[in-house]
A and B are shown apart, each in its own frame.
Chain A
Amino acid sequence: MLGLLGEQGSDFAYKVDYANDIVTIISVVCTVAIVGAMLYFAVKYRQRDGVDHETPAIEGNNALEVIWTVFPTLVCIWVAWLGYDSFVDLRTPPPGAMEVNVTGRKWAWDFQYKNGKRTTSELVVPVGEPVKLIMTSKDVLHSFFVPVMRTKMDVIPGRYTHEWFRPIKTGDFQVFCTEYCGNEHSKMLARLKVLPKAEFERWLADDSEERKLAAMKPSDRGKELYVAKQCVTCHSLDGSPRVGPSWLKLFGKQGQLASGDKYTADENYIRESILNPQAKTVAGYPAMGMPSYQGQLSDDDLTGIIEFIKTIDGSQKIEVAPAAPPKKADAALASMTPAERGKALVADSSNMCLTCHSLDGSKVVGPSFKGLWGRKEKLSDGSEVQVDAAYIKESVWKPAAKIVAGYGPAMPAMYEGKLTDENLNDIIEYLKTLQ
């Protein structure tokens, strides 16, 4: 009826919406009636020209009390039934529903199908078939919420909970985590892909990706990830300085930590530094320089990277393949002002701007974006430049060309092709706002 809860994706959604519509109508009617009565009395019996007029000492009316005790009770019973009824459907999966394991962890969703296929942050299901999710958590409470399916259930460590739905339409839907779980709670999202049956079967059967990775020898896998996960951005293979320590002959290297303690770059140290970079940062490198890869890399991935690091003797050359420019599919992005788009690009972790440039004027690895626009900068070669569109574009595409005095040649040459000219114009618009 009212369609308050948006599109319906599951076969019981209509029931929930029906209950929601009924209670909405009841609520609006009651509120309007009671507040209306109150306002009517307020106007009709208002005290005129500041003098009290005589009032009857009405102390109550038992008939009325009975009525407005019984009537709400009846309404409550009805409404309670509506809620109860929809809930029963929501909680009873039909026998033979396709079961999927769901594991919540800080801060991503893992899915595993009966045939062993695994996905992360993407649940793929066939349309028209009942799907039962068997859910547990690795760390703290999470909650698996699929708005279009009208269903939600907390995900609890050490236990399994379930929820189910039968998709009635194909499409690509949003999944939220709705139980507060820490810093990246609001980023703990997933997509629900509902495919036509045949297409789903094909997808489920296809394990080429896995076989490809599984087939590789660990060090090659690591090499793949070195680019794919943008390690390359901050860690060179040839000893050249970047945001983080170069990987050249890194393995087994000993040195001093920011904390003053010694470290040896063995498997455990590397593993920890990938999963929890702030724990042991090497002296002379930004403490907050590296984002945690917790939850983004499997154990095999980590082994791969470590194995790859062991192999690095300077012979390796890796060209950063220009990534495809970010697609602005959703209308939302298009509807934004340039400044907003620029902001989105800067915030987009795959561009990693904020890894090295602060927004609040604090000096990190590179110059802060705050007040950057129009500033006069002294360059390392002694010359001076006015920060304008041309300069910014040049420094993004060819970072090494003009380096501001007091900063190292840390910025990777990975943006040419990744960020288009219009992207940069947007970013510049955004920078202008950061005065």
Chain B
Amino acid sequence: MAHSHEDAHHGEQGHVVPVSTFFKVLVALLILTVATVAVAQVDLGKWNIVGALVVASIKATLVVLVFMHGKYENRILWTYIVIPFVLLAIMIGGVFTDDPFRDRLKPVQVEQKK
């Protein structure tokens, strides 16, 4: 019953995270927020969105790891933390095998009859 034991270990006590840790993370998050807003003001072309999403992902990771105790969770839980993001990637990836590769057709030009 390997698994249920494994689960049970975490079952006894969720990990207790000191408030100070949370506070440090909050400060980090606020700084990052200000950073994205600032960066967004300068026009970097398509790098704007890349940058914004990278920063957002860093913030998200912090929230999951610390606020949501992700750091202290077991493998099974992590599987189900990761799956939705993998699927999101598959979804967007799959759809983008389509649209950018569609042939851009124009209707047949009808010759003017004299």
Contacts and interface: CB of A to CB of B under 8 A. Distances in A.
B107 A115 contact: no
Interface in A44-103: 99-101
Interface on chain B toward A: helix, strand, loop, or mixed SS? loop
A256 B84 CA distance: 61
Specify which of B107, B108, B109, B110 lies most central, judged by the most chain A CB atoms within 10 Å of its CB.
B108
B12 interface: no
B110 A134 contact: no
Interface in A103-133: 112-116
B5 interface: no
Contacts of A136: 107
Contacts of A116: 110-111, 113
Contact of B103 (A101, A113, A162): A162
Contacts of A433: none
Interface string A289-304: 0000000000000000
Interface in B88-114: 102-103, 105-111, 113
A115 B108 contact: no
Contacts of B106: 134, 160
A101 B107 contact: yes
A161 interface: yes
A100 B107 CA distance: 9
B113 A115 contact: yes
Nearest to B102: A159
A112 B111 contact: no
Contacts of B109: 114
A220 B105 CA distance: 39
Nearest to B113: A116
A99 B108 CA distance: 7
Contacts of A112: 108, 110
Contacts of B103: 162
Contacts of B102: 159
Interface string A136-164: 10000000000000000000000111100
A178 B67 CA distance: 53
A361 B113 CA distance: 55
Nearest to A207: B113
Nearest to B112: A116
Contacts of B113: 115-116
Contacts of A113: 108
Nearest to A100: B108
Contact of B111 (A99, A115, A134, A162): A115
B105 A115 contact: no
Contacts of B107: 101, 134, 136, 160
A101 B109 CA distance: 9
A130 to B, nearest CB: 14
Contacts of A101: 107-108
A161 B108 contact: no
B111 A114 contact: yes
A205 to B, nearest CB: 11
A87 to B, nearest CB: 15
Nearest to B103: A162
A97 to B, nearest CB: 11
A161 B105 contact: yes
A353 B109 CA distance: 43
Contact of B110 (A114, A160, A161, A162): A114
Given A115-B113, A116-B113, A162 B105 contact: yes
A99 B111 CA distance: 13
Specify which of B102, B103, B107, B109 lies most central, judged by the most chain A CB atoms within 10 Å of its CB.
B107
A115 B111 CA distance: 6
Contacts of B110: 112, 114-116
16 contacts: A100-B108, A101-B107, A112-B108, A114-B108, A114-B109, A114-B110, A114-B111, A115-B111, A115-B113, A116-B111, A116-B113, A134-B107, A136-B107, A160-B105, A161-B105, A162-B105
